[in-house]
């Protein structure tokens, strides 16, 4: 076993349970290894964890355990069973949820979503790629699934040095995987973004459903329509969906049909949400309830300033298309923009628009995307609903 010895003055986050170890935190390495191999990590000659190493990654070692455990099939199976037990506690009879949330389940580099009897897995590191057969065997033994689809992150595969796969790797399944959340029918798109559906907004979408009765609703960055369809099931008067992707809108149309929603209850725009919000404002088109849930606007610290400007502009335009005393729901999945910064962005947009904001609801990622307080990066989703009141003179 290769041993990694850390510098004595490293930050306390590693000692306190963080799973990431950077190159500049390593004092010396004893023993030979190949990228992706399991290694032991020591601080002041005291064992602090076991994980996998990769020289190609800025994060040189990712810890899998704080114990002297053999990382084998039984270890992987026990890890997945523990995660499943936690989800069953959360969701009772729900059959669709995120089963493994990387660092949130102390399984860095791995994401597994369960869509009823199908699974979509995403591998992000070489270390997890080397454990893939254990992961597949464990899923098959525990769940006996109808199919497992692998949908890796292409950029990470290139950096980490493993074979990118986007295909069925166990049995076969449909291109659009049917499933239900909150009693509503949806599809996970195997050709879509990430694992095909964003399960992290499930509770926030329920609040949207609760507040949408008899309202005209705008669902910006709708993707396949999670929020807007919840609004329609909550008896919204009408929903306008905005997304730039014709593929996403195609899946959205299938979802509307399978839920038997009348075509006079919605309208689809294949459009950039930033631009379409401006057009609505210029044309004096306003809505009772505006929802904006953009993709992450910053992947690195160097792009945070641009992300802040983007969120400010987006919220400014969204508020301008919301009727006086209407509702606005705004979200950020950019982990590097923290909650206090996001609230300041919203406040600044409201101040520039000369409106008051009354907070109705504050949400976060659903608990199948668990937040570990000793790994701050596991908390990323911010979600607010406000009532707005115009005070222009």
Q: For the segment 223-253, what is each residue's pLDDT rounded down to a tens digit?
A: 999 999 999 999 999 999 999 999 999 999 9
CA nearest neighbour of 113 among 156, 145, 75: 145
79-117: per-residue pLDDT in tens?
Answer: 999 999 999 999 988 999 999 999 999 999 999 999 999
Residues with Cβ < 8 Å from 42, sequence gap 6 or more?
A: 3, 4, 5, 6, 48
**What superfamily does domain 73-173 belong to in CATH?**
RNA methyltransferase domain (HRMD) like (3.30.750.80)
pLDDT in tens, 165-192: 999 999 999 999 999 999 999 999 999 9
Residues of the chain with CATH 3.30.750.80: 73-173
- pLDDT beyond 60 at 393: no
Stretch(es) of the chain classified as CATH 3.40.50.150: 178-390
Under CATH, what is the fold of the domain 178-390? Rossmann fold (3.40.50)
Helix or strand or coil: residue 242? Answer: strand
| Residue from 313, 325, 345 nearest 387 by CA | 325
Q: What DSSP character marks residue 72?
A: S
Please name which of 227, 240, 114, 268 lies closest in space to residue 180, comparing C-alpha atoms.
114
Rounded CA separation 147/117 (Å): 7
Query: Region 338-347: what's the mean pLDDT?
Result: 96
Task: Give residue 301's pLDDT band: very low, low, confident or very high (50, 70, 90).
Answer: confident
Candidates 182, 177, 196; CA nearest to 233 is: 182
* Secondary structure class of 51 (helix, strand, coil): strand
Please check whether residue 94 is in contact with residue 76, taking contact to mean a CB–CB distance below 8 angstroms: no
pLDDT-above-90 percentage for the chain: 93
Burial of 295 (0-12, 13-18, 19+ CB in 10 A): exposed
Neighbours of 218 (CB within 10 A): 32
pTM for the model stands at 0.95
pLDDT at 26 over 80: yes
Fold for 2-65, please state it: 2.30.130
Residue 142 has what pLDDT?
A: 98
Q: Please report where in the chains the tokens 């949408």 appear, as a residue.
A: 212
Look at residues 152, 225, 151 and name the one whose alpha carbon lies nearest to residue 187. Answer: 225
Give the pLDDT confidence score for residue 392 in this predicted structure.
64
């Amino acid at each position: 076993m290769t041993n990694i010895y850390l510098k004595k003055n490293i930050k306390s986050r590693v000692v306190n349970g963080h799973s990431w170890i950077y190159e500049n935190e390593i004092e010396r390495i004893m023993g030979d290894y190949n990228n992706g191999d399991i290694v032991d990590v020591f601080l002041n000659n005291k064992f602090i964890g076991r994980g996998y190493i990769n020289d190609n990654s800025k994060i040189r070692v990712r810890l899998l355990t704080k114990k002297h455990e053999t990382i084998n099939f039984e270890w992987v199976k026990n890890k997945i069973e523990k995660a499943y037990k936690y989800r069953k506690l959360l969701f009772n009879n729900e059959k669709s949820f995120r089963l493994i949330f990387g660092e949130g389940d102390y399984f860095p580099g791995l994401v597994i979503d369960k869509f009823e009897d199908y699974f979509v897995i995403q591998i992000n590191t070489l270390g997890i790629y080397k454990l893939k057969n254990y992961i597949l065997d464990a899923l098959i033994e525990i769940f006996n699934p109808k199919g497992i689809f692998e949908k890796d992150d292409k950029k990470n595969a290139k950096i980490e040095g493993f074979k990118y796969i986007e295909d069925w790797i166990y049995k076969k399944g449909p291109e659009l995987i049917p499933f239900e959340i909150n009693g509503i029918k949806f599809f996970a798109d195997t050709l879509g973004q990430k694992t095909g559906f964003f399960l992290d907004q499930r509770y926030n979408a329920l609040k949207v459903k609760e507040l949408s009765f008899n309202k005209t609703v705008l669902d910006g960055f709708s993707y396949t329509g999670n929020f807007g369809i919840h609004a329609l099931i909550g008896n919204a008067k009408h929903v306008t969906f905005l997304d730039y992707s014709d593929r996403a809108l195609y899946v959205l149309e299938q979802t509307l049909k399978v839920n038997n929603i009348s075509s006079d209850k919605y309208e689809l725009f294949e459009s950039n949400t930033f631009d379409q919000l401006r057009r609505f404002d210029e044309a004096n088109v306003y809505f009772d309830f505006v929802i904006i849930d953009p993709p992450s606007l910053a992947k690195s610290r160097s792009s945070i300033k641009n992300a802040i400007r983007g969120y400010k502009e987006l919220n400014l335009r969204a508020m301008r298309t919301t009727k006086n005393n209407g509702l606005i729901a705004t979200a950020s999945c950019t982990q590097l923009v923290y909650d206090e910064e996001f609230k300041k962005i919203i406040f600044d947009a409201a101040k520039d628009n000369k409106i008051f904001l009354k907070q109705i609801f504050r949400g976060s990622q659903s608990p199948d995307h668990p937040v570990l307080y000793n790994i701050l990066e596991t908390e990323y989703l911010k979600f607010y609903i406000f009532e707005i009141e115009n005070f222009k003179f």
